[in-house]
Amino acid sequence: MEETSTVHDPALPSAPTTPPTPPVPLDALLAREDLGLRRIAGPAGPGLVVHGAHTSELADPSPYLLGGELLLSAGVHIPPGAGPEYFDAYVSRVVAAGGAALGFGVAPVHDTVPGALVEACGTHGLPLLEVPPRTTFSGVARAVWQLMARARLAELRRVAEAQQSLAAAAARPDPVPSVLRQLARRLDGTAVLYGPEGARLAAAGRDQGAEVRAALADLAGVVGTRAAGTASDTVAGTRLAAYALGAGRGFVLGVAAPRRDPGDHTIASVAAVLLSLLTGEHQSGTGAARSAALVRLLLGASPEAVTPLLGQDRWRVVHARPDGQAPDSVAASALGAALGSALVDLAGEVVRVLVPADRAPEALPGWTLGVSADVAPRDWPAADTQAARALSRARATRTPLVRHGARPALADLVPAADARAHARTLLAPVAGTPALTDTLRTWLSLHGSWDRTAVALSVHRNTVRQRIARCAALLEADLDDPDVRMELWFVLRHT
């Protein structure tokens, strides 16, 4: 197997990441006649894409690159008489930071692109574009964002149409084969349903060869041994993905496609939710047991009395918020399937999931999670509070998942109502301006780092400085005082 995705270990170094935006093919920019860009060095091909445009005249712009950018420069940073060593070091830093391409403006500093820069870009495999004098860097950046907006709109339309067609397929008399056929058509690949023992129960789409079939079955076997989750791989140029359908039931959806577009994961996830329902719990009786437990609770039974119907004695509560738009019922169901539980509550912008304690939730792409300690049913309300606090901590620290610690915190000694009242009073001068409170929370969570806060909020570092200065003035507080910072962090957790 050529490339296998695994759960990331924070202790290991990670490659530069790219923002979650639709990529723009470099060829699409070069095709814009109004820009007049010309490739003069580096590789070419339809697989080269950029995720944004960034202008910098620093000799080392790498600290300010997220990865995937078209870096624009007029060469102001180039010292007089710079030799090949300078350009080689400059290009190598850009490549190491994940820069996708370099655009060099031939005016007003340089009349031509330095030959040593052309040679360095060719050596390091960095596409080099010549930006003519009549083209501004802001015009190039605007063109990138225009192309991204068009790509995002097209992808959203494609995903919406796929969701509708999958839902219609699930309503047919032969729902499982229909969903698989529709998924294979939408992804231009193969969709396979595997049973609990790894048996190939149903398939749709074109056969992609014995090697791909075997690799997809192996990947499904890996996912089938987990409580829930997904895995991906690339074999013989074919993109593979496997999705566990529910918790502990062993059904797996496998997908093989020649490419992986931004919306493919969303489309496959919708199919996985539908197939999870279709292969569902009503066949094993657990759905009926869950309904019986709910009825007994509504009729006055205690949580301890209905727990035997659910088959578990210990539980965790998970609070989750998506990183993008507010969740809908499909997203909530997909989250429950990923966490291995059908006990899902969509409450505004937060999804709450009751998860058996033996299934420790892991971080999920696109979600921020807060997880309670494992508790007995009588402590479900306390676990709900723990999960809410853990989610607040995760969002404040920009951490994908935070678990409630067993050690009591000092903040737990203050009644929640008193803490909220104090927070409202102290933060009243800035409460009406969400940009100020969000910036203050992020800045405090990142230990007062201007640059990291600017990256987290996608604003300029000077904007961060101005907002923090405004907060200090409105709150009449010295934000360099650690006692002040501690109190503000405490109250921000209760807003």
pLDDT band for position 359 (cuts 50, 70, 90): confident
Asked whether the beta carbons of 213 and 196 are under 8 A apart, the reply is: no
Look at residue 104 in the predicted model and tell me its pLDDT. Answer: 97
Q: How far apart are CA 436 and CA 472, in angstroms?
A: 10
Q: How far apart are CA 91 and CA 71, in angstroms?
A: 11
pLDDT band for position 63 (cuts 50, 70, 90): very high
15: left (phi over 0), alpha (psi -120 to 50) or beta: beta
Per-residue pLDDT, averaged over 397-411, amounts to 72
Q: Which of 295-309, 321-335, 480-494 has the highest mean pLDDT?
A: 480-494
Q: Which two tokens stand for residue 311?
A: 């088959």
Per-residue pLDDT, averaged over 204-209, amounts to 85
pLDDT at 227 over 60: no
Residue 113 Cα distances to 32, 34, 41, 103, angstroms = 21, 20, 11, 10
Per-residue pLDDT, averaged over 342-367, amounts to 83
Q: How far apart are CA 369 and CA 362, in angstroms?
A: 9
Q: How far apart are CA 247 and CA 337, in angstroms?
A: 7
Give the phi and the psi of residue 473 in degrees, each rounded to 5: -70, -45
For residue range 139-179, list pLDDT tens digits in order.
999 999 999 888 888 888 888 898 888 888 887 767 788 88
Entry pTM: 0.45
Residue 147 Cα distances to 24, 32, 483, angstroms = 6, 11, 48
| SS (HEC) of the chain | CCEECCCCCCCCCCCCCCCCCCCEEHHHHHCCCCCCCEEEECCCCCCCEECEEEECCCCCCHHHCCCCEEEEECCCCCCCCCCHHHHHHHHHHHHHCCCCEEEEECCCCCCCCCHHHHHHHHHHCCCEEEECCCCCHHHHHHHHHHHHHHHHHHHHHHHHHHHHHHHHHHCCCCHHHHHHHHHHHHHCCEEEEECCCCCEEEEEECCCCHHHHHHHHHHHHHHHCCCCCEEEEEECCEEEEEEECCCCCCCEEEEEECCCCCCHHHHHHHHHHHHHHHCCHHHCCHHHHHHHHHHHHHCCCCHHHHHHHHCCCCEEEEEEEECCCCCCHHHHHHHHHHHCCCCEEEECCEEEEEEECCCCCCCCCCEEEEECCCECHHHHHHHHHHHHHHHHHHHHCCCCEEECCCCCCHHHHCCHHHHHHHHHHHCHHHHCCHHHHHHHHHHHHCCCCHHHHHHHHCCCHHHHHHHHHHHHHHHCCCCCCHHHHHHHHHHHCCC
Longest dimension (CA), the chain: 85
49: amino acid identity, one letter: V
Residue 325 Cα distances to 21, 185, 410, 438, angstroms = 14, 27, 33, 17
Lowest mean pLDDT among 322-331, 336-345, 358-367: 322-331
CATH 3.30.420.10 fits 24-145, yes or no: no
Q: What is the signed CA dihedral for 216, 176, 292, 373, rounded to 10 degrees?
A: 30
Among 430, 323, 406, CA closest to 367 = 323
Q: Which two tokens stand for residue 94?
A: 């850009």
Look at residue 19 in the predicted model and tell me its pLDDT. Answer: 40
CATH of domain 171-274: 3.30.450.30
| Of residues 342 and 135, more confidently modeled | 135
Beta pairing class for 315-322 and 350-356: antiparallel
For residue range 77-93, list pLDDT tens digits in order.
999 989 999 999 999 99
For residue range 414-441, list pLDDT tens digits in order.
677 777 888 888 888 988 888 998 899 8
For residue range 243-287, list pLDDT tens digits in order.
888 655 678 899 999 887 778 888 888 888 888 877 764 444 456
For residue range 177-197, list pLDDT tens digits in order.
888 999 999 998 999 988 777
